[in-house]
Amino acid sequence: SSHFFLEIDGFESNATPNNTSPPVFSKPMDSNIRPCASGNGEDMDSPQSLQDDVTEYSPNVDSCANIPQGPEQTSARKKLKRYIFRAVSEGNIEELQGLLTELKERSNACTNMTVPDYLMKKFTASDTGKTCLMKALLNINQNTNEIVNMLLSFAEENGILERFINAAYTEEAYRGETALALAACTNQPDIIQLLMDNTRTNITSQDSRGNNILHALVTNDFVIRMYDMILLKSKDRNLETAKNKDGLTPLQLAAKTGKLEILKYILSREIREKPNRSLSRKFTDWAYGPVQSSLYDLTELDTTAENSVLEIIVYNTNIGVSCLLL
């Protein structure tokens, strides 16, 4: 059962100092420069890893019986994935269209693996799990939206949309993160809308730490608007009550990491439209001129709850802003 706190106010509260900080990434999610396997000093575009060069195109590993195997064809096949990722990152629509056509032809001629498996192999970096969809979202340009639409349309036409749209990083630092979480954390509302409108998108997916998309947004101070948009689009309060592997909901994680602005937003969120009002944590009871009475949902806040926000702030907050949070 929920508990509520009554507040009556008629005056503007004092301004609170802004102690937010930009997100910190332990290592880059995307890099166009990788050392070449030959060691000749050349560079090559992500996603090719050393393992890709050595094994991915070996005749015994990834050969397709019906595809010509001459030196020129082998060289072109080696470069196809690299060219797709490059076209995506550069926003080159015309080149990508041609490459997707070639990829489709090659997938139909391949006999030693299914078409979906072949396409996913060419769309995914073997060393990081990063797909060309993620590559597009990490290299924003004027054609990004059209590139994303092209990739999703191709995936749907070829029966890999669900696998492709929900593919996740396998690299340890970002393991489990999907394109949806990536778009949200890089502040791309049009892409968020596009992905969430697609019924194949798994909105509730969690990364290796058990964090869902709202947990991910909590750690980024500049995406409060994204948090609001995703919650309203999903119309699912369970997305906000889901716990990660540390037993923390997005609200509790905000308290734990000292994210003052997002914490204030979650606690004071009021949605007046009736269909979505259940997503509110603040409810205006009555108003008389500048004076109003509001009810606040104390779920997760009260000390009777496990990992209550108050206990986290007093005893377990990692950041030295406990007084401001209180």
Q: Tell whether 110 is covered by a domain.
A: yes
Count of structural domains within the chain: 1
Does residue 36 fall inside a structural domain?
yes
Identify the pLDDT of residue 11.
Answer: 41
pLDDT for the residue 79: 86
Range of the domain at 98: 30-161
Asked if the structure places residue 218 within a domain, the reply is no
Examine residue 194 and state whether it is found in any structural domain, yes or no: no
Domain assignment present for 73: yes
Along the chain (326 residues), what's the average pLDDT of each consecutive run of 10 residues? 55 41 51 43 37 37 50 61 95 96 93 93 94 95 95 96 96 90 88 92 92 84 76 87 92 87 86 85 82 86 80 72 53
Asked if residue 264 belongs to a domain, the reply is no
What angle in degrees, to the nearest 10, is found between the helix axes of 115-123 and 93-109? 140
Q: Does residue 64 lie within any of the structural domains?
A: yes
Residue 45 lies in a domain: yes
